Amino acid sequence: MVASLDAPRLRRFIYDGKLGHLPKLPWAQLKHGEFRSISSASPARALALCADNSGSFVFLFSSRHCSYDASAWNVSICSGVRHLRLELNTPDDPVEAGKLLDCLTLPSLHSITYVGLESLRFDASSCLGPPKWSSESFVALAGRSGFSTHLVCLSVHAQVADNELLRCLQGLSQLETLTVKDPSSFREATVTDVFLRGLSYAPDVSDPLIPNLRVLTLKALFNFGDAVYAEVVASRAWQKFDNGPFHANLFSRIQSKRMLSSAEAQGKLAELVSQGSLIFSNELEP
């Protein structure tokens, strides 16, 4: 028997266990819900808990033990959540990974974080990468949810090709904050010369990609040229914003073992910082 919880002042709820043991809660009043170690049969059921919520509710979904059988995803969930974090391990198949996004419609979403869990293999020293990203599923989710009018923050750590992620950014005209983290393998790097050049801003282009970008955070394997990075950051920093400089945060993943080193690139960025057009950091990933 599932107990009911009378908690009229409850605003934050964190749960680690079987969904069948959850008490009945006033979900609509929560500001933050966090669900960890969702059981193998219930990933979509977990997401459905936020369907009746609206406002500034933050829903953290952690899926380390999920089943991706098709029957588990035969559901359509429309939610007014404003912030959503999906933390998951999925099979090495973008179709399977996309099922998580396919069942959602998020017409009020301001920020979404899609995080893959990396873990060491038991039989080798290599690292299992994060789940593959489904561009088709994200583009469809963005279209039916109207992300072009309200999504301001996107964070992605997944196996996704540079040009595929650029495709997903098309139409996100209100996006202000973008975070991209490379997988551990250089062969699967997302942050490349191609990706960076796609983010370059040109004022004379009629429909530039994410024109309102204010903060760019890259956790990279440095599979790109220093000069290309500096040029892209400069193109963004030269934009005139009423509320401050452009922020560029560049973190080196431990596998890359290098930082931004070109004297020319460093000089260009330092000049922008001195002019007050840029706030820049280049550090090892914490």
Tell me: pLDDT of 86 over 90.
no
Tell me: pLDDT of 224 over 60.
yes
Tell me: pLDDT of 244 over 90.
no
- When the pLDDT of each residue in the chain is averaged and rounded to a whole number, the result is 79
pLDDT of residue 29: 75
Return the higher-pLDDT residue of 242 and 99.
99
Quick: pLDDT tens for 39-52: 544 556 666 766 66
pLDDT of residue 123: 34
Quick: pLDDT tens for 107-142: 999 999 887 665 433 333 444 556 678 899 999 999
Write out the CATH class of domain 12-284: alpha beta
User: Torsion angle of alpha carbons 114, 120, 121, 126, nearest 10°?
Assistant: 100
Minimum mean pLDDT among 122-126, 152-156, 181-185: which range? 122-126
pLDDT band at 200 (very low <50, low <70, confident <90, very high): very high
Minimum mean pLDDT among 200-204, 212-216, 275-279: which range? 200-204
pTM: 0.85
pLDDT of residue 36: 66
pLDDT of residue 223: 92
What is the DSSP track for the chain? -PPB---TT--EEEEES-GGGPPB--GGG-SEEEEES--TT-HHHHHHTTTT--TT-EEEEEESS----GGGG---EE---SEEEEEE---S-HHHHHHHHHTEE-TT--EEEEEEPPEE-SSSSSEEPPPBP-HHHHHHHHHHHTHHHH--EEEEESB--HHHHHHHHTT-TT--EEEEE--S-GGG-S-BHHHHHHH---TT-SS-SSTT--EEEEEE--BS-HHHHHHHHHHHHTS--TT--EEEEEEE-TTT------HHHHHHHHHHHHTTSEEEEEEE--
Q: Please, what's the b/e burial string for 177-202 (b: 16 or more CB within 10 A of its CB; e: otherwise)?
A: bbbbbbbbeeebbbbbeebbebbbbe
Quick: pLDDT tens for 136-150: 999 999 999 999 999
Tell me: pLDDT of 266 over 80.
yes
Tell me: pLDDT of 153 over 90.
yes
pLDDT of residue 21: 64
Tell me: pLDDT of 14 over 90.
no
Domain assignments of the chain as residue spans, ordered by start: 12-284
Minimum mean pLDDT among 13-22, 132-141, 160-169: which range? 13-22
pLDDT of residue 5: 60
